Amino acid sequence: MLDFSLLGAGLTVYLLWGLIAYPLYVSAAGHGIVYINQITTTTVVAVLYVTATCGALFFSGFRTLVLLGGLNLTGLLTVMLVKRYEFTSLWCAYAAVVSVVIYFFFRQSRPDRPAKYALDAAA
């Protein structure tokens, strides 16, 4: 998990720098908002973002979160194929909903987690 956290932190700093140092063009298109920035809207950034956000779910050790990672990846690829230019705004709306799902997962699984972590640490 540390690798995904470090990747996410590094990507955050890079994206912040890109948004501060280079112009951001915003426009409405279809049913979303299009963001254009020569640093932040690249394929490499997109792949790293997907790795940081979905990758941790695949390695969480919880079957439900692995399933959620698969659904996230499927949803992300679908949005990317169908609404390429409005991807950022649509993905942010989707991620907000998924965040609520993850919150309730952790809230519901609270009694099980300490035992699971203790078993993982002993192995």
How far apart are the C-alpha atoms of 2 and 46, rounded to whole Å? Answer: 20
Contact assessment for residue 76 and residue 91, using Cβ atoms and an 8 Å cutoff: yes
- Number of folded domains that form the chain: 1
**What integer best gives the mean pLDDT of the chain?**
81
**Is residue 60 scored above 70 in pLDDT?**
yes
**Is residue 72 scored above 70 in pLDDT?**
yes
pLDDT interval class at 120 (50, 70, 90) = low
**Is residue 113 scored above 70 in pLDDT?**
no
Torsion (CA) 121, 68, 57, 92 in degrees, nearest 10: -140
pLDDT tens readout for residues 89-105: 777 777 788 888 878 87
Can you tell me which residue has the tokens 């020569």? 38
pLDDT tens readout for residues 1-28: 789 989 999 999 999 999 999 998 988 8
Full DSSP string of 57-103? HHTSS-HHHHHHHHHHHHHHHHHHHH-STTHHHHHHHHHHHHHHHHH
- Model pLDDT, residue 118: 46
Eight-state DSSP code of residue 111: T
Q: What would the two tokens of residue 65 be?
A: 């979160």
- Where in the sequence is the domain holding 68, given as residue range(s)? 2-122
How far apart are the C-alpha atoms of 60 and 65, rounded to whole Å? Answer: 7
